[in-house]
Every structure is written in C-alpha cells, then in structure tokens.
Amino acid sequence: MGIEIERKFLLAGDGWKRQSQGVFIRQGYICSDPGRIVRVRIEGERAMLTIKGKTEGISRGEWEYPIPVEDAQQLLDVLCEKPLLEKNRFRIPFGGFIWEVDEFFGDNAGLLVAEIELESESQHFTKPDWVGVEVSDDRRYANANLFKHPFSRWSVS
C-alpha cells in the first residue's frame, strides 16, 4: 500500500505560469465516498485507476494502476459519476519538490490550487512566493468534492 501525504494551498500570484506547460486532465469518480474513493483519470496520453482510503490528517492510503486510455475513456463515459472534472495540471520544481498547480474548468473555473506531496506529515518545505493560504483541512477543495459541490456554487461568506 502506498501512502499519499499531500498539502493543498490557494495561489497568491501567477509566477508559476512561466515555469511549466500544463497537461490536460479529465477525471471521474466510480466511487466518491470519503473513505473509499475510486478515480479514473486520463492525463495527456496516459490513464490511471486510483483507489484512495480515508484521510487522516493529511495522509491516506493510495493505490494507483496504469490502465489503457481506451478503457479509461469508457469508464469515464459509462461508469463515472457526472459531471467529470477537467483541469490543466502544471508541474513546477521548487526547493527540491515538484509543486502541482491545478487550473480548473467548467463549474470549477476560476479555482487554482497548488499541491505538494511529502514523505512525512512533518517534512519541512519552503513555499514559493506564488503559494498562499493552506486549505489542506478544507474538504471543499478535495477533487472528489468539487464535482458534487463546484467552486462556482460556493456562497461567499
């Protein structure tokens, strides 16, 4: 079993844009229950089936398997809950890590989130100046929530 240890942040600037080219991602959920997520993703020319367990802190079990793109397309079209999530992902090296910035489309247009994967919850890292407020504990920003409760429908409080 793999462990995913991920922290999420909103962006505080656009300095990341010059540092990477985005890859288009389409993803959907066969199961979006918080304790047992099953996701299908096509990213560029490759496809993955991912199973994620319950999040505890910023960690959770994660199992990821490559699958044929044609199979992933059928799963997205037939089995996945709708709507699908669409986004561009930018990978930016900084401080010995790869930061991933997701730029969402559709009902989540306008949402930009940066993520960093760590080896331990206490691992130290330096944030780039374009990374802002941490939202790791705010489940609204979880991809499995965004297709059910899209960013465009959040009430401003």
Long-range own/partner contacts, residues 142-146 (CB < 8 A, 24 or more apart): 143/27, 143/39, 143/85, 144/29, 144/32, 144/34, 144/37, 144/39, 145/32, 146/85, 146/104, 146/108, 146/111
Query: What amino acid positions are annotated as catalytic residues?
Result: 29
The answer to whether 121 and 9 are in contact (CB under 8 A) is no
